[in-house]
Amino acid sequence: MRRRVAVARRPAIIAVLLLFALFGLPALLSLYYIDALTQVAVYSMVAAALGVLAGRVGLISLGQVAVLAVGAWVAARLLFATTQPYPVILVEAGLITMVAGMLIGLPALRLRGLYLALITLMLAGAITVILASLNFPNGGHGFSGYNGALVNIPPIRRPSIASGDPAYYRYSVIIAAIMFLLVLAHIRTRPGRAWAAIRQSEPAALAAGINTTLYKLWALALASFITGVAGGVLAGAVHYLYSIDFPTQNSIILLAVVLMGGVYSLWGAVVAAVLYQFLPALLQNWGVSADWLTILFGIGVLQVLTTAPAGLADQVPKDLAKLGRLLLRLTRRPQPAEPAAAVPTETSGVSGGGGAA
Amino acid sequence: MPAWSDFEPFIVSGLALGGVYALSGVGLVVLYRATGVLYLAFGAVGAMGALIAWSLTQAGTPGWVSWLVCVAFAAAVTLAYGTVFGPALAGRDPLVKAVATIGLTLVLYGAMDLLWTTSGGEARSLTLPTDNSGFSVGQILVNWTQVIALAAGVVITVATGAFLRYTKLGTAMRAMANDRVITATLGVPVRRVEAAAWLGCGVLAGIAGLLLADLVALDATTLTFLVISSLAAVLIARLRSIALAFAAAIAIGLIHDLLTPITSLTNYRDMTPFVLAAIALLVLSRRRVMTQSREEA
């Protein structure tokens, strides 16, 4: 009963949070933090895409930052080459990245588990080398659009309705929200069920008549599309793109952070993006080295993999609920029925988070 | 197309690089076969060992002591990780085990960046005494570090092969690679054999870290993620054969360095390991059999 009420209330809570993110946060924070939050919006999309692959289908990608770089490259090239409206460019960047991701991914999907993860890492390494040599477009001519002279480099444009930083932040939050809805629409319908079956056991899914290749490719296409769109948003956010901003190891760190945030829920993607982009900005402002964060991420991965497969997004509310029950029990001492009531929720939580990350 | 003489020096450096990749590859394959863990922190422990050795040398410690400390550090960290997290994750998917070592990588990487700050400082370098002396083959100068790197690759591959073939511990490791549960039932002390594999892998990580710090660069980021290149050789060997890993490592090292003088390809030479590994994986996985067993691909 309580659960049903919570489900009914959830869209309202999300709407309030979204409105607060759109109008409350920009009013409260300085430009420095608003820029960091734009990055959070971008990386929450990347994390959601990685969550689809890792959490829903069970395909671990160690090359998502390289896909983001491809999306950013395509978007930047189109933004310099054409005068199309920004949303059109975003869709185009997403679609081109999707095609690229599928072309690379189709042969890779023959592999499973560890081998698939490692081949994505190898492909990410290759893409990084190509981009380092090709350079990001900066208003030059030709296919690469790179002007080696490095004088009078025009910034990558933003949409006319969102040229300022707070406006662009709102713009990116809305794009991220649309992408989250896209993911949700997939999870709730046929592909989501097929993905769940594949994650549990690919041979069983095959035996049940699920076209595993189609649905795996579908997941890859969706993830590449979302990451491509995120790349387009990133291009406008930073104005200037450089290949050194997308090193291969960032894909590894991103996977670690996404696993920490939690791959089984979309909240996990937001948590991961905050960990990955907002905390470093916060620490930098406080004068604390971001290296502490890297260490924390490392410990977080080990902790998540050994004890909490569903990540922080799942674990923290559960721990808070446990803490709440504990406090309740301490304040109302003579209540022997309380611990017994706590047991069923705990066991259901364990079985819910039992899937392999 | 450059003249042949332009390529000659790169044969030597390529073989040296390939030798270190081979050394790393053997360590990774043996650990993977014995414990099921693909040790992605291989580069990070070696890098931290090398940085510690550098600090010790700066403080005036004799060279050989600092090198021993480097190897001992890498071995100790690896063994400690294996002892703590190995059993905890033993029943999980190989992928989970591999990703967990990324956790260790990040901890070490953060600590290295914190303790040996990279920004603003001048480039560190760890030079082995063997750098300055050498001999020449025809026109090519060969220094002893390069010889040691290749020799280490060859010796370690042969020695590990013999160890796995002829010793009791090696036989136990091969048995565990086939089936852990049956091996345990037969009375093999699984934990102890695993610990030996972790220790051996750590020692190799330390040696590889020292050699790479000298041959490539003493830089935390470079060394930590150079393991990705060594992984390519291991992948070509499908995480199985140390002989194949050795051959692949030498090929990767040679092709990488031989592309250097070719102007049109020199920017793309760092792709060598990735491209070779991707092609090898895709070709080798043409005939895929789907099974329910734990043995993957």
Residues 6+ apart with CB under 8 A from A189: none
Q: Is the pLDDT of residue A74 over 80?
A: yes
| A136-148 per-position pLDDT tens digit | 887 777 777 777 7
Give the one of A115, A125, A201 whose C-beta lies nearest to B228's C-beta: A125
Q: Which chain A residues are within 8 Å of B100, Cβ to Cβ?
A: 301-302, 305-306
More confidently predicted of A292 and A138: A292
A222 shares its domain with A333: no
Q: Inter-chain contact B291–A129, Cβ cutoff 8 Å?
A: no
Which percentage of chain B shows pLDDT scores above 70? 93
More confidently predicted of B8 and B209: B209
What pairs with residue B142 in β-bridges? B135
Encode A1-31: b = buried (16+ Cβ within 10 Å), e = exposed.
eeeeeeeeeeeeeeeeeeeebbeebbeeeee
| B205-245 per-position pLDDT tens digit | 999 998 888 888 788 888 888 888 888 888 888 888 888 89
Give the one of B103, B111, B282 whose C-beta lies nearest to A107's C-beta: B282
In a domain, A331, yes or no: yes
In this structure, are residues B59 and B45 in contact, taking their beta carbons and an 8 Å threshold? Answer: no
Instruction: Give the pLDDT of residue A27.
Output: 79
In a domain, A147, yes or no: yes
Q: Inter-chain contact A118–B108, Cβ cutoff 8 Å?
A: no
Q: Which chain A residues are within 8 Å of B219, Cβ to Cβ?
A: none
What pairs with residue B134 in β-bridges? B143
Measured CA to CA, the distance from residue A202 to residue A217 in angstroms comes to 14
Measured CA to CA, the distance from residue A314 to residue A55 in angstroms comes to 13
In a domain, A297, yes or no: no
Residue A35: in which H helix or E strand, if any? Answer: helix A31-51
Q: Which chain A residues are within 8 Å of B114, Cβ to Cβ?
A: 289, 291-292, 295
**Test mutation, B102, B108, B272, chain A, max A CBs within 10 A:** B102
Q: Is the pLDDT of residue B107 over 90?
A: yes
Measured CA to CA, the distance from residue B97 to residue A114 in angstroms comes to 9
Which residue in B has a C-alpha nearest to residue A133's C-alpha? B267
Evaluate if pTM is beyond 0.90: no
Q: Inter-chain contact B231–A118, Cβ cutoff 8 Å?
A: yes
Count of CB atoms within 10 A of residue B49's CB?
31
DSSP string for B59-117:
TT--HHHHHHHHHHHHHHHHHHHHHHHHHHTTTS-HHHHHHHHHHHHHHHHHHHHHHS-
Which domain covers residue B148, as residue numbers?
A: 4-284
Give the mean model confidence (pLDDT) for residues A47-65: 90
Residue type, B289: V
In a domain, B161, yes or no: yes
**Test mutation, B263, B270, B274, B294, chain A, max A CBs within 10 A:** B274
Which residue in B has a C-alpha nearest to residue A288's C-alpha? B114
Instruction: Give the pLDDT of residue A350.
Output: 37
Helix axes B168-178, B4-35, angle to 10 degrees: 80
A210 shares its domain with A343: no
Count the helices and strands in chain A (H runs, E runs).
Answer: 16, 0
Q: Inter-chain contact B100–A114, Cβ cutoff 8 Å?
A: no
A28 shares its domain with A130: yes
Q: Inter-chain contact A249–B111, Cβ cutoff 8 Å?
A: no
Give the mean model confidence (pLDDT) for residues A219-238: 93
Give the mean model confidence (pLDDT) for residues A181-186: 93
What pairs with residue B137 in β-bridges? B140
A27 shares its domain with A150: yes
Q: What's the Rg (C-alpha) of chain A?
A: 21
Count of CB atoms within 10 A of residue B120's CB?
5
For the four alpha carbons of A200, A204, A208 and A213, in that order, the dihedral sign comes to: positive
| CA A45 to the chain's CA centroid | 4
Q: Inter-chain contact A114–B225, Cβ cutoff 8 Å?
A: no
Which residue in B has a C-alpha nearest to residue A104's C-alpha? B278
A123 shares its domain with A196: yes
A176 shares its domain with A241: yes
| A112-137 per-position pLDDT tens digit | 778 888 888 888 888 888 888 888 88
How many domains would you assign to chain B?
A: 1
Chain A: give the shortest CA distance to residue B251, in Å: 17
Residues 6+ apart with CB under 8 A from B250: B15, B18, B19, B21, B22, B153
A246 shares its domain with A325: no
CATH of the domain at B163: 1.10.3470
Measured CA to CA, the distance from residue A151 to residue A141 in angstroms comes to 14
Q: Inter-chain contact A125–B38, Cβ cutoff 8 Å?
A: no
Measured CA to CA, the distance from residue A264 to residue A47 in angstroms comes to 11
Q: Is the pLDDT of residue B153 over 80?
A: yes
A282 shares its domain with A314: no
3 state SS for B188-250:
CCHHHHHHHHHHHHHHHHHHHHHHHHHHCCCCHHHHHHCHHHHHHHHHHCCCCCHHHHHHHHH
How many domains would you assign to chain A?
A: 2
Measured CA to CA, the distance from residue B196 to residue B257 in angstroms comes to 35
Q: Inter-chain contact B285–A111, Cβ cutoff 8 Å?
A: yes
CB pairs under 8 A between A and B: 160
| A299-356 per-position pLDDT tens digit | 988 888 888 777 777 777 888 888 888 888 887 765 555 444 444 444 333 333 333 3
Measured CA to CA, the distance from residue A293 to residue A275 in angstroms comes to 9
What pLDDT band is residue B42 in, cutting at 50, 70 and 90?
very high
Chain B: give the shortest CA distance to residue A149, in Å: 19
Instruction: Give the pLDDT of residue B207.
Output: 92
Residue with tokens 């083959």: B137
Instruction: Give the pLDDT of residue B204.
Output: 93
Q: Which chain B residues are within 8 Å of A108, Cβ to Cβ?
A: 282
A340 shares its domain with A232: no
CATH of the domain at A219: 1.10.3470
Q: Inter-chain contact B274–A122, Cβ cutoff 8 Å?
A: yes
Residue B246 structure tokens: 């050795």
| A253-271 per-position pLDDT tens digit | 898 888 888 888 888 899 8
Give the mean model confidence (pLDDT) for residues B101-127: 79
**Test mutation, A210, A305, A307, chain B, max B CBs within 10 A:** A305
What pairs with residue B135 in β-bridges? B142
A270 shares its domain with A218: yes
In this structure, are residues A226 and A48 in contact, taking their beta carbons and an 8 Å threshold? Answer: yes
Instruction: Give the pLDDT of residue A2.
Output: 53
In this structure, are residues A240 and A155 in contact, taking their beta carbons and an 8 Å threshold? Answer: yes
In a domain, A220, yes or no: yes
In a domain, B296, yes or no: no
Which residue in B has a C-alpha nearest to residue A295's C-alpha? B107
Q: Inter-chain contact A302–B103, Cβ cutoff 8 Å?
A: yes
Which domain covers residue A38, as residue numbers?
A: 10-288
Chain B: give the shortest CA distance to residue A86, in Å: 33
Chain A: give the shortest CA distance to residue B130, in Å: 32
A247 shares its domain with A323: no
Which residue in A has a C-alpha nearest to residue B224's C-alpha? A249
Instruction: Give the pLDDT of residue A335.
Output: 52
First-to-last CA distance in chain A?
30
Q: In this predicted complex, what is the ipTM? A: 0.83
In a domain, A146, yes or no: yes
Q: Which chain A residues are within 8 Å of B270, Cβ to Cβ?
A: 125, 129
Q: Inter-chain contact A206–B282, Cβ cutoff 8 Å?
A: no
A279 shares its domain with A353: no
Collapsed DSSP state (helix, strand, coil) of residue B143:
strand
Helix axes B168-178, B190-215, angle to 10 degrees: 100
In a domain, B294, yes or no: no
Q: Inter-chain contact A301–B285, Cβ cutoff 8 Å?
A: no
Count of CB atoms within 10 A of residue A293's CB?
22
Q: List the single range of A219-228, A324-333, B64-73 with lowest mean pLDDT.
A: A324-333
Q: Which chain A residues are within 8 Å of B95, Cβ to Cβ?
A: 60, 113-114, 117, 356
Q: Which chain A residues are within 8 Å of B268, Cβ to Cβ?
A: 129-130, 133
For the four alpha carbons of A144, A149, A151 and A152, in that order, the dihedral sign comes to: negative
Which residue in A has a C-alpha nearest to residue B118's C-alpha? A291
Collapsed DSSP state (helix, strand, coil) of residue B137:
strand
Residue B155 structure tokens: 């010796």
In a domain, B142, yes or no: yes
